[in-house]
Chains A and B, each alone.
Chain A
Amino acid sequence: MVVGDVTTAVSTLVVGAGPGGYVAAIRAAQLGQSVTLVVDGPLGGICLNSGCIPLKALISASRRFRQLNDESLQTMGIQLARASFDWGQMQAWKTGVVERLSGGVAKLLAGHKIEIVHGLGWFLNEKELRVEGEYGSHRLAFEKCLLATGASPRELPELPFGENVLSAQQALALTELPTAINVVGDNYVALELATLFANLGVSTTLLAGGDKLLPEVDQAAVRLVQAGLRKLGIQVVTGAQALKMDGTELVYTAGGKEKRLAGTVVVSHGVKPNTGKLNLKEAGVKTGPDGELTVNAAQVTNQPDILAVGDVTGQTPLASVATKQAKVAAETMGGRKVAFAPQALPRVAHTTPELAYTGLTAEAATQAGYEVVTGRFPLAANGRGLTLGSESGVALVVAEKGSGLLLGMTLVGPQAGDLIMEASLGIEMGATLTDIAEILHPHPGLAEMTLESVESALGLAIHTL
């Protein structure tokens, strides 16, 4: 790579190395494109370095610790002396996991002969991008450019990020564990953060603005999750309106009264697309009201040679969405005809019990115009659930009345996030309740929950009355 203000012609230029950018770079290289990747920050993006992966690592570790103190161990005949943990060591272990994954991404990129340019990129015009980094400035003339610059935590106007108000990423990087933490938000990240800190014995309050947690999820399932949060000692306050920070105290109203809470505040209020620094005007690329890049199903923006994937498009900010869009975009750049058009979007919340859902809830299906039939199966009636010592959980299935076309599934219980894929596959394949009911499920196994909920929708459940 030439340093200085010399224009270098590149073929496929990918900006951003998160789960959208690095996947697009690899897929484009697999398809025979010559790829240059502009990286501003660590390989793997937020998801790998400061978001999903660290959060899941810390939740797993904290859950292991929490389980040591669970009374169910005693009923199984297990007695433990007082267990303890070292937050610093837990963080170090998390960092090890992250580094291993990030190193893996670096090896993959190298293996695909993807050229990496470090620095912040912005457009000079619709054909050129300038990258300014530690080692100088590059002027890159591209044939195709894919933007995967992600998104940043969105602030609450009342609670700007600062010393006592942290984003989720900052909370995960705390070097010292606070004694009290107040999580503001009703989304899955807020619930997971509360779970993590409560597992470690931090006095935790979860403040949701509306009257529901996870409003888009079937509330019959959310009630079990909420009971789980309470069991961990989390104070759940709904209808809470944050007003301001007063020193180290959070001031908010709930039930018409003004209240105060001491402790570190963590805000999880969604994300804002990172487009501000791209100088999109010079490239003639249009953005939506939130600064998001509007794309078609082939991931192309209003400029035919500029594409975008992932959080920067303002769509559901999930790595699974970004990586799929990345593959679609890479194929589009390769001249293929492809579309991002999933039928089901599986989602997981790593709470205790775990929650996962895919497709439509009964409510959403009805709104979409379906006449629905539903089925339900409680974990307490599942043999494997009991042998795992878990009782709190449920499987809720939604299908079209008559045809039995599978429309949606919500699962609460151990490994819900993995078990959900049976239903997700079914929805994508256009499977019916009968298709699922005809399949053998291992016994005793948690997947039997899916089977029995489906049979319940068919009016043929064996293990419930």
Chain B
Amino acid sequence: MFEFKLPDVGEGMHEAEILRWHVKPGDTVKVDQPMLEIQTDKAVVEIPAPVSGQVSEILAAPGKISQVGDILISFQTAATSNAAPSAPEVKTAPAQAEAESKTLVGAGVGGGPNRVKAAPAVRRRAVELDVDLAKVPPSSPDGRVLLKDVEAFALNQANAPAAPVVVSGNGHAAGFAPSVPATNGHIQAAPITSAPTFATTPAHTAPAGGEERKPLVGLRRRIAERMELSWKTIPHASCFDEADGSGLVALRAQLKPAAEKQGVNLTYMPLIVKAVVQTLKRFPVFNASLDEQTREIIFKNYYHIGIATATPDGLLVPVARDADHLTFLELSAEINRLSEGGRNRTLKANELSGSTFTISNVGSFGGSTGTAIINPPEAAILVTGSLKERPAVVGGELVKRYSLPLSMSFDHRLIDGAEAGMFLAALKELLETPGLLLLNAV
């Protein structure tokens, strides 16, 4: 009997949701055949069969949250009947034992001068989270690595691009791409694990059948955690305006046939993104973020624009990276690709992280406008309402024209109301006269 346990497929991961099985009890499987899809914090990871054999039992049903180390599936293997250990089990451990035994006890145990200064509880956490302490940037000036440093580092690791999983027999995953901090080593978010839980809410009584409880799992849970983090740490303020949309409508109508000839469906979003990027360049603090630990403002010279996308499972924010370096056409194609990937849940973790500013097109969701919660650690988020004909007073006359409601939520620690007003005014000018974008087009 070979039992397969949930491996740690991304440094720092503790649990994952079982999405779907590609095998069922009784199936004969070959090693490395696609077996299971799991959902970690962000990405969907496919896990291949660890051995060849017959599936005996599936112990984790789709929808279940499994902890790392939980048994997910068992197999009858050829090796099982011989009562000999299956090959991968014996292969990996001895080398590991040999390498690690050197770090064990001697008369004096401490490491050499490269020892990382960290308290025992911090070192323990690093082992738990699979974090190499030597790689963790210490937040304290004397080089001491703190608990929060380790946890933030682990979170960044978890957000790093996922690579194909190769599972060795003892339940550890190998073959990961080195972690790439998403935003120049900047810490993306406070450790989610420290978020308080409300599990202790006293059970209230409800008539039988009057309510149904479902676990907060998967993407919904991730969204809940991010929103909670944002709302608790960022003092939000909002401002509103409305742009004359006639210029946008005219420009899109003009460009659309040409874009279609090149196979790209042109929407308003790339036009809005281009206008936003140019405005961000004029007002850099809107593309910045606050490093909670060092209390420094990080100004970024890259423009990764997150675009809130509704999916059947919930809100995702795919990221158009380096939006300022893309042509209109390239940007259009990229946004179309991302929104489709978002809806189909085929995006990789790195396509869903690292944005520097986010746009939420509430108009496309059906509302006329709304306010948004900032996508941490960003400084602001823009909401565009529905672009449609509305009455307006122009030169004392009541006229009918296209208008685009704008709403922006900003981190009031970094941005004052006056700046936010100026930002929206500048953006509005570009949206109303989109030809101005050409002046600064790359």
Residues of A near B108 (CB, < 8 A) are: 344-345, 358-361, 364-365, 408
Residues of A near B106 (CB, < 8 A) are: 316, 345
- Taking a contact as CB atoms under 8 Å apart, the answer to whether B101 and A360 are in contact is no
The smallest beta-carbon distance between B168 and chain A, in angstroms, is 10
- Taking a contact as CB atoms under 8 Å apart, the answer to whether B96 and A303 are in contact is no
- Give 1 or 0 for each of A366-399: 1 = CB within 8 Å of chain B CB: 0011100000000000000000000000000000
Q: Which 5 A-B pairs have the closest CB atoms?
A: A335-B69, A430-B117, A360-B108, A296-B97, A296-B100
- Taking a contact as CB atoms under 8 Å apart, the answer to whether A364 and B107 are in contact is yes
Given that A301-B97, A303-B90, A369-B113 are known contacts, is A429 also in contact with B120, CB under 8 Å in the complex?
yes
- Give 1 or 0 for each of B100-121: 1 = CB within 8 Å of chain A CB: 1101111111111101011110
Residues of A near B89 (CB, < 8 A) are: 303-304
Complex: A338 Cα to B129 Cα, angstroms: 9
Tell me if B94 is interfacial: C-beta within 8 Å of chain A: yes
Q: Determine which residue in B90, B93, B123 has the highest number of CB atoms from chain A within 10 A of its CB, and name it.
A: B93
The smallest beta-carbon distance between A239 and chain B, in angstroms, is 22
- Taking a contact as CB atoms under 8 Å apart, the answer to whether A126 and B85 are in contact is yes
Complex: A335 Cα to B90 Cα, angstroms: 18
User: Mind listing 30 A-B residue pairs with CB under 8 Å?
Assistant: A126-B83, A295-B97, A295-B101, A296-B96, A296-B100, A297-B101, A300-B93, A301-B93, A301-B97, A302-B93, A303-B90, A304-B170, A335-B5, A335-B67, A335-B70, A337-B68, A338-B124, A342-B105, A344-B109, A344-B110, A360-B108, A364-B108, A368-B111, A368-B112, A369-B112, A403-B142, A407-B110, A428-B119, A429-B119, A430-B117
Q: A297-B101, A300-B170, A430-B117 are in contact. List 18 more A-B contacts (CB 8 A).
A: A127-B83, A297-B103, A301-B97, A303-B85, A304-B89, A304-B93, A316-B106, A335-B68, A337-B8, A337-B68, A337-B129, A338-B127, A341-B103, A345-B109, A347-B107, A359-B108, A359-B109, A403-B142
Complex: A216 Cα to B124 Cα, angstroms: 28
Tell me if B130 is interfacial: C-beta within 8 Å of chain A: yes
Tell me if A125 is interfacial: C-beta within 8 Å of chain B: yes
- Taking a contact as CB atoms under 8 Å apart, the answer to whether A337 and B127 are in contact is yes
Tell me if A284 is interfacial: C-beta within 8 Å of chain B: yes
- Taking a contact as CB atoms under 8 Å apart, the answer to whether B69 and A336 are in contact is yes
- Taking a contact as CB atoms under 8 Å apart, the answer to whether A315 and B97 are in contact is no
Complex: A365 Cα to B129 Cα, angstroms: 30
The smallest beta-carbon distance between A176 and chain B, in angstroms, is 37
- Taking a contact as CB atoms under 8 Å apart, the answer to whether B144 and A430 are in contact is yes
Complex: A430 Cα to B117 Cα, angstroms: 5
Tell me if B330 is interfacial: C-beta within 8 Å of chain A: no
- Give 1 or 0 for each of B73-108: 1 = CB within 8 Å of chain A CB: 000000000010100011001101111110111111
Residues of B near A297 (CB, < 8 A) are: 100-101, 103-104
Q: Which residue of B lies closest to A332 (CB)?
A: B69
Complex: A428 Cα to B94 Cα, angstroms: 29
- Taking a contact as CB atoms under 8 Å apart, the answer to whether B107 and A337 are in contact is no
Tell me if A294 is interfacial: C-beta within 8 Å of chain B: yes
- Taking a contact as CB atoms under 8 Å apart, the answer to whether A337 and B128 are in contact is yes
- Taking a contact as CB atoms under 8 Å apart, the answer to whether B119 and A340 are in contact is no
- Taking a contact as CB atoms under 8 Å apart, the answer to whether B69 and A294 are in contact is no
Count of residues in B whose CB is under 8 Å from the partner chain:
45
- Taking a contact as CB atoms under 8 Å apart, the answer to whether A343 and B85 are in contact is no
Given that A343-B110, A407-B110 are known contacts, is A428 also in contact with B93, CB under 8 Å in the complex?
no
Tell me if B245 is interfacial: C-beta within 8 Å of chain A: no
Interface of A is mostly: loop
- Taking a contact as CB atoms under 8 Å apart, the answer to whether B117 and A125 are in contact is no
Given that A284-B85, A295-B97, A342-B105 are known contacts, is A304 also in contact with B117, CB under 8 Å in the complex?
no
Tell me if B377 is interfacial: C-beta within 8 Å of chain A: no
Residues of A near B107 (CB, < 8 A) are: 216, 316, 345, 347, 364
Residues of B near A370 (CB, < 8 A) are: 112-113
Partner pick for A302 among B97, B113, B117, CB 8 A cutoff: B97
Tell me if A427 is interfacial: C-beta within 8 Å of chain B: yes
The smallest beta-carbon distance between A369 and chain B, in angstroms, is 5
Q: Which residue of A lies closest to B170 (CB)?
A: A304
Interface residues of B in 121-177 (CB under 8 A from A): 123-124, 127-130, 142, 144, 169-171
- Give 1 or 0 for each of A111-155: 1 = CB within 8 Å of chain B CB: 000000000000001110000000000000000000000000000
Complex: A297 Cα to B128 Cα, angstroms: 13
Q: Which residue of B lies closest to A406 (CB)?
A: B110
Complex: A341 Cα to B128 Cα, angstroms: 13
Tell me if A458 is interfacial: C-beta within 8 Å of chain B: no
Residues of A near B128 (CB, < 8 A) are: 336-338
Residues of A near B98 (CB, < 8 A) are: 294
Residues of A near B130 (CB, < 8 A) are: 337
Complex: A315 Cα to B100 Cα, angstroms: 13
Complex: A301 Cα to B92 Cα, angstroms: 11
Complex: A197 Cα to B144 Cα, angstroms: 48
Tell me if A261 is interfacial: C-beta within 8 Å of chain B: no
Partner pick for B94 among A302, A321, A336, CB 8 A cutoff: A302
Tell me if A222 is interfacial: C-beta within 8 Å of chain B: no
The smallest beta-carbon distance between B91 and chain A, in angstroms, is 10
Partner pick for A428 among B99, B120, B129, B171, CB 8 A cutoff: B120
Residues of A near B100 (CB, < 8 A) are: 296-297, 339
Tell me if A286 is interfacial: C-beta within 8 Å of chain B: yes
- Taking a contact as CB atoms under 8 Å apart, the answer to whether B93 and A296 are in contact is yes
- Taking a contact as CB atoms under 8 Å apart, the answer to whether A430 and B119 are in contact is yes
- Give 1 or 0 for each of B272-285: 1 = CB within 8 Å of chain A CB: 00000000000000
